[in-house]
Structure 1
Amino acid sequence: MDSLLLIIGLMLAAVLLVGAGDRLQLPWPALMVVLGVVMAFVPGLPDRFELEPDLILPLFLPPLLFAAAQRTSWALFRARWRSIALFAVALVGVTIAVVAGTALALVPGITVTAAIALGAMVAPPDPVAVEAVAARVRIPRRLLAVLQSEGLFNDATALVVFQVAVLTTMQGQTLSVPLLAVRFVLGVVVAIALGVAAAWLARFVMSRITDTAGRTALTLILPFAVYLAADRLGASGVVAVVVAALQLRGYSEADEAAERLTQRSFWDVVELLVTGVAFGLIGLDLRQVIDAAGAGLWRMLGHAVVICMVVVGTRAVWMAGAWRLVQHSPDPSAAPRTGRETVVLTWCGMRGLATLALALSLPPTTADGSPFPARSELIVIACAVLVVTLLVPAFTLPVLVRALGVAEEADAEQAAEAVVARRAQQAALARMVEQQQLGALPDELGAPMRERIGRLQAVLCGEPITTEERERLRTLREGRAMFSAIQADALGAARQEVLRARREPGIDPAAADRVLRRLDLRTVLLD
């Protein structure tokens, strides 16, 4: 019961912090990190939360990866395969190597494989954190797309290295680099095939489910099923989930507007609650680690500061090299192309839930019953890297972007939005002309309809309406005000009568609820 109350409390805290973040103009993942750190020192909370380390990754990673992947597309990945290879694979590998070497020099009693596991924990930036922090800031869409694509696939690289390193540590073996490379390639290939097959099967089932709630529920089951199936096959569950999400989103049809709205809202809620619980649990685990560290805590924190600098410095050097590599690239979407973009991409290397989940999943003992090498210090270092790389950019990125003038480039990129809006307007006008030619649209309605469609591009681009248009709209609204007021009043009376009838003993509540729902939908559509 205590565990259930704790989870409910963490979910409520996450909701409250999202509201506080909106008011304070601060990203909610940063506030959740603060919450997790504070929880480590709050008296009266349970001393430990009983959750098997093997369950951490399957519980937390699949829904968050699925939610993040739905916000991108295959076309974007095809266009950015160079960035994925450069940042999601090569940079992660270099970071793992540098961090592991630093940990071997600093941490007493650590083994090579445990040091590599630490490097894998702190190497991958998190797409959820990047989305929450960088999306609030007016940076060029090119940079945000690079960060998102990096965040979705770098987890696969880090997770494969982490799992192999932990397994060899548990068994007391020596890490084989060729075996690791072969396992990575085979795992990715099998995961891609599994993700595509799972998405096709899910779409086949969804086509036979007419209820929107049922179809949405299937998308909740899908990432867990795909992740577990990939794990059983020895493949990358991260890649399988991302591929399934991309493929399923690619099947979306034009007339599924209501379903897309429902699923987007649903996954926003899932992402929020799962992240809140995860950050709260790391606070509890951090308290256990602090208690176990005892007098050695300050030494651990000193090592953590050094590794934080190594992580940030490695990313800075890599981004500077990438700038030299792509600044003359013919690909207009390549980044970073300037020194200012290099600074922004370096600053946005935010660690998040992947680091948390990997830290929590470290087993307490090895196969022979001995303690996992330097486990407490590994968790302290991982938490320190997360706090530094997430909190510092979250609170300073807006100032940095304004100081560098990067927001000016973001304004220029709005032309791409205008192109899409123009295509939408032209498609709407062409369909209206077809309707007129078929006689489905009376001529007397053609002119006002064309006028409204002519305004569509500006509306889709978010442009303000002109004074003349505002006056015309005001006149129309005044003419409809009385009719709307009467109709709204009538619908209000209808809802009251339905609610009154629902309370009567001879009325079926389910039937009343169905009528009430239709009345609510009618009212929303009129609004």
Structure 2
Amino acid sequence: MEQLALIIGLLFATVLAVGLGERLRLPYPVLMLLLAAAVTFIPGFPALHIKPELILPLFLPPLLFATAQRSSWSVFRIRWRTILMFAVALVVVTVAFVASAAWLLIPGIGLAGAIALGAMVAPPDPVAVESVAGRVHMPRRLLTTLQSEGLFNDAAAIVIFQAAAGATVAGTEIGPDVLLRFLLGAAIAVVLGYAAGWLTKAVTRFIHSLVARSAVTLVVPFAVYILAEELHASGVIAVVVTALEIKRRARPQDAAERITRTAFWDVVEMLVTGLAFGLMGLEMHKVIEAEGTAIFGMIGTAVTVCVLVVAVRFGWMYLAMWFGRRREGSLPPTRWKDVLILSWCGMRGLATLALALSLPATLATGEEFRARHEIIVIACAVLLATLVLPGLTLPWLMKVLKAHTTGQEEREAALVLASRAQDAAVAALQDADVVQDLPEEKLDLVRVRMKRLRADLMGAIPVGVKRKQRDEDRELVIAVQTIALAAARQEVLEARNEPDTDPEVADRVLRQLDLRTMMMPD
């Protein structure tokens, strides 16, 4: 009962942290981490015991799924170079630099143990990045770059970590088969994700309850992740592909389901994120307390690794900018501001903590894992340095660099998409039997309804449209709205999968259409 009470307390604290974060303009995940770490100093405060091997399966699937739902396949087709450069190559380079430093600075750690440490601290966490960077009005082009990187880099880091930890335990060396394992695991995960996306949409078509349909999308990420791991594939990639495929298969007639599911996932994401960061605070304090005064002897190495992690990311972003300037239509970073922001947003989080806690305690021979305590302390130091400091100072950095977005670009994109939706609705009505041979006064009513559709898309009612017209010619109005809204939703869904469309802008326009559909009289 004590464990359950502590979890409920963390969930309630999440709600309070969200409110406090809004008032202080600070990211609530960082507040949760600091709060959880602080309360553990209270004498008699209960400890929460979760097996390390359960942390990633419990928290990564829903949070990855929630983040991936805001993207689309077209984004990844455009940004495949970004994914390779940041989610794979940067992880490998970071592992190499950190492992080299650890091998030189930590006596007896061994090469495989040093590589395991590098894999722990290499991947920026998608949950941390989305929760912190998404709340400071960051330009969409930068936030999308961070999201694309964060959704896949855990896969590369986890494969490297498992190979390094396994080699240390067995007393062997890491072989070149790591790359083959990663590629094979990624391929299996993609196939599994496609199949899961298709199966999910097939199942939901047989379920009439909107609540049950939303619940299916909560169960699926866990099932896909666990199945992928059992097949020795990447659970991370499998969950991301599943989410993207489910969004691709969205249908125009699923308006009520989209509204229900969006609200459902907003609540799930907030509570799971808060709980995850709260657990980080509890676990980090537990690790630090267990080490006692020995920690002071590890500070120098920990600071060195923290500086190295930030420096490697900055250097990589600078190289990406330098090479990008030589190509037309290059993606971020394209200027110094981009380099600074993307470097400062390399926030470590859930994956770093989970991998640190899952480090084996003993070797196959029964000996202790060499330098295990120091590895865990350094990983926690990197987590704190790259999450808390950037999380609290990112708003200041954005202000100094004058990099805040005004939202004008997104508003213009939404206007273009709304116009496309209206054009599609008009075209559908022109071909519809319901408006053929209508008298002029009835056609005027149809035109008024089309003006109102455009106004709903842009969030306003146009001047001159009287609300009393809502009850005139009820059957004609319902027929016109049904045809127009269906065509408009179909157009927005198709636009969402196009390379030039921002998925989040499309989702906002689609939400207006869905709400308008649900407001229609029966």
- Residue 314 (structure 1) aligned with residue 340 (structure 2): no
| C-alpha distance in 2 between matches for 1:304 and 1:21 | 29
Alignment equivalent of 2:339, drawn from 339, 342, 349: 342
CA contact (8 A) 1:141 1:410 kept: no
Give the secondary-structure state (helix, strand or coil) at the position aligned to 1:407: coil
Q: TM-score, normalised by structure 2?
A: 0.84
| C-alpha distance in 2 between matches for 1:69 and 1:228 | 18
* Aligned equivalent of 1:175: 174
Q: 1:139 and 1:287, CA in 2 relative to 1: closer, same or farther beyond 3 A?
A: closer
Cα offsets for 1:224-266 (capped at 9, x unmatched): 1111111111111111111111111111111112211222222
| C-alpha distance in 1 between matches for 2:50 and 2:360 | 11
Alignment of 1:224-303 (within 5 A): 224-303=222-301
* Aligned equivalent of 2:507: none
The letter for the 1-side match of 2:384 is: V
| C-alpha distance in 1 between matches for 2:379 and 2:63 | 20
CA contact (8 A) 2:154 2:236 kept: yes
Alignment of 1:336-415 (within 5 A): 336-407=333-404, 411-412=408-409, 414-415=411-412
* Aligned equivalent of 2:17: 17
Answer with 242-251 or 430-439: which moved more: 430-439
Alignment of 1:36-75 (within 5 A): 36-47=36-47, 49-75=48-74
* Aligned equivalent of 1:142: 141
| C-alpha distance in 2 between matches for 1:287 and 1:443 | 74
- Residue 120 (structure 1) aligned with residue 119 (structure 2): yes
CA contact (8 A) 1:124 1:155 kept: yes
Between structure 1 and structure 2, the one with the greater Rg is 1
The letter for the 2-side match of 1:119 is: G
The letter for the 1-side match of 2:38 is: V
Q: 1:186 and 1:293, CA in 2 relative to 1: closer, same or farther beyond 3 A?
A: same
Give the secondary-structure state (helix, strand or coil) at the position aligned to 2:137: coil
CA contact (8 A) 1:127 1:152 kept: yes
Q: 1:136 and 1:288, CA in 2 relative to 1: closer, same or farther beyond 3 A?
A: closer
CA contact (8 A) 2:280 2:350 kept: no
Q: 1:41 and 1:304, CA in 2 relative to 1: closer, same or farther beyond 3 A?
A: farther
Cα offsets for 1:287-308 (capped at 9, x unmatched): 3322321221122233222211
The letter for the 2-side match of 1:352 is: G
| C-alpha distance in 1 between matches for 2:351 and 2:306 | 17
* Aligned equivalent of 1:162: 161
State the Cα RMSD in Å. Answer: 2.8
| C-alpha distance in 2 between matches for 1:35 and 1:440 | 68
Q: 1:398 and 1:446, CA in 2 relative to 1: closer, same or farther beyond 3 A?
A: farther
Q: 1:89 and 1:461, CA in 2 relative to 1: closer, same or farther beyond 3 A?
A: farther
Give the secondary-structure state (helix, strand or coil) at the position aligned to 2:151: helix
Offset of residue 449 of structure 1: 4.9
| C-alpha distance in 1 between matches for 2:445 and 2:356 | 61
The letter for the 2-side match of 1:237 is: G
Q: 1:364 and 1:208, CA in 2 relative to 1: closer, same or farther beyond 3 A?
A: same
CA contact (8 A) 1:194 1:230 kept: yes
| C-alpha distance in 2 between matches for 1:312 and 1:446 | 64
The letter for the 2-side match of 1:202 is: T
Alignment of 1:82-231 (within 5 A): 82-176=81-175, 178-231=176-229
| C-alpha distance in 1 between matches for 2:439 and 2:336 | 58
Offset of residue 153 of structure 1: 0.7
Answer with 82-91 or 14-23: which moved more: 14-23
| C-alpha distance in 1 between matches for 2:261 and 2:437 | 33
Cα offsets for 1:451-480 (capped at 9, x unmatched): 453465565456x788xx3xx57x859x99
CA contact (8 A) 2:142 2:332 kept: yes
Answer with 303-312 or 442-451: which moved more: 442-451
| C-alpha distance in 1 between matches for 2:326 and 2:411 | 23
Q: 1:455 and 1:123, CA in 2 relative to 1: closer, same or farther beyond 3 A?
A: farther
Answer with 346-355 or 93-102: which moved more: 346-355
* Aligned equivalent of 1:77: 76
Q: 1:273 and 1:437, CA in 2 relative to 1: closer, same or farther beyond 3 A?
A: closer
Q: 1:367 and 1:221, CA in 2 relative to 1: closer, same or farther beyond 3 A?
A: farther
The alignment-based identity, stated in percent, is: 51
* Aligned equivalent of 2:476: none
Q: 1:43 and 1:434, CA in 2 relative to 1: closer, same or farther beyond 3 A?
A: farther
Cα offsets for 1:364-391 (capped at 9, x unmatched): 3334443333333223222222222222
CA contact (8 A) 2:30 2:277 kept: no
Cα offsets for 1:463-504 (capped at 9, x unmatched): x788xx3xx57x859x99xxxxxxxxxxxxxxxxxxxxxxxx
Task: Give unmatched runs, 5+ long, in structure 2.
Answer: 472-514
- The number of residue pairs the alignment matches comes to 476
Alignment equivalent of 2:413, drawn from 400, 412, 416: 416
Answer with 189-198 or 286-295: which moved more: 286-295
Answer with 273-282 or 307-316: which moved more: 273-282
Cα offsets for 1:267-316 (capped at 9, x unmatched): 22222222222222233322332232122112223322221111111110
Cα offsets for 1:43-100 (capped at 9, x unmatched): 22224x3332222221121111111111111111011001001110001110111111
The letter for the 1-side match of 2:355 is: L
Answer with 149-158 or 381-390: which moved more: 381-390
CA contact (8 A) 2:32 2:278 kept: yes
| C-alpha distance in 1 between matches for 2:374 and 2:232 | 29
Offset of residue 435 of structure 1: 5.0
Q: 1:118 and 1:75, CA in 2 relative to 1: closer, same or farther beyond 3 A?
A: same
| C-alpha distance in 2 between matches for 1:194 and 1:146 | 25
CA contact (8 A) 1:33 1:279 kept: yes
Q: TM-score, normalised by structure 1?
A: 0.83
The letter for the 1-side match of 2:149 is: E
| C-alpha distance in 2 between matches for 1:305 and 1:280 | 24
CA contact (8 A) 1:39 1:283 kept: no
